[in-house]
Amino acid sequence: MITKRQFFIAMAMAMTAAIATLAPAAQAADQVVRIGWLRGPNDITLAKSRGTLEKALADKGIKVEWAGPFPAAAPAFEALNAGSIDITAGSSTSAIAALAAKVPLVVFAYQKMAPGSEGIVVKKDSGITSIKDLAGKKVAVNRGGTGEYLLMQGLETNGIDPKSVERIYLSPSDSGPSFTQGHVDAWATWDPFLTIAEKAYDGKVVADGGAIKSDNAVVLVASKEFAQSKADQLQLVFDVIKSENAWAVAHKAEAGAIWVKEMNVPADLAGKIGENNAAPTTAVTQADVAQIGKVAEWYAKSGIIPALPDIASGVVSLK
């Protein structure tokens, strides 16, 4: 018969063995960074294509798992909200909408968008020559994202009543066919869709980001939990991103060629996409926080989001 003392000794040994078995698995899970990549011209897509993140993190014993490609920021942010990914990219406008929806994310990198990388495009034979001509027209936009922001900002900049323009809410993948088939009169969008519409869909840009007075930016985001519990890994990822971004800024044509290949768009668009999108990426400064906050205030005032989110709490400062 087993004694009470022998029972407890056996239990202790069994628990020790179980912990020893589970520890490597737990440690392995802790050494994985899950990154959602967008089919777009950003630093994460570049790092994925060039394999630099896997190499740099592998040297630290960390594995990279990729998810995607996501067609736009909204579904990527949904994946982050669901706990499926740790890091992804998007626009500052989409990040504002996500923060307003209580998605637990933090912005850790900021890249001001070049004027030519976003705008409002129409068909060349549409008779539309300016934003003022959009009154009474239908414009494709993505709800709460860059497209809706560009349209609304453009209308305000030109003194046009937003109620005079019908917003047609479509995903980027659905906007292209609607634009080519004439179901909408214009399309407020960003690269690569803007360049594709201009070069392949017989479009012309009636107002780019500069004319619209856009304050939009590309941002990199992480889940709040990941940023808090794995701050060292987030910094490692950002270090690689900064290196990739510096390479892109110095090699715009080469970066454009990589982006068009990853996005599966015509190779002859590489030059323009590289020129438009290879812009400096930095850690988020207080000036950037103020800029995002300014757009968020405009979003709330315009009724695109129900309430103003706390932008400061949605940002993390890295080196």
pLDDT in tens, 111-156: 999 999 999 999 999 999 999 999 999 999 999 889 999 999 999 9
Q: 219: burial class by Cβ within 10 Å (0-12, 13-18, 19+)?
A: buried
C-alpha 45/C-alpha 36 separation (Å) is 9
- CATH 3.40.190.10 residue ranges of the chain are 31-113+216-314, 116-212
The per-residue pLDDT of the chain, averaged, comes to 90
SS3 (DSSP) at 232: helix
**Contact call for residues 21 and 52 (beta carbons, < 8 A):** no
**Contact call for residues 90 and 142 (beta carbons, < 8 A):** no
CATH 3.40.190.10 fits 31-113+216-314, yes or no: yes
CA atoms within 13 A on the CB side of 3: 3
pLDDT of amino acid 273 = 95
Q: What is the mean pLDDT of residues 194-205?
A: 94
From the list 277, 118, 129, the residue with the least C-alpha distance to 193 is 118
Q: Can you give the length of the chain in residues?
A: 319
pTM: 0.84
**Architecture of the domain defined by 116-212:** 3-Layer(aba) Sandwich (3.40)
Phi, psi of 43 (to 5 degrees): -65, -35
**Contact call for residues 43 and 111 (beta carbons, < 8 A):** yes
pLDDT band at 72 (very low <50, low <70, confident <90, very high): confident
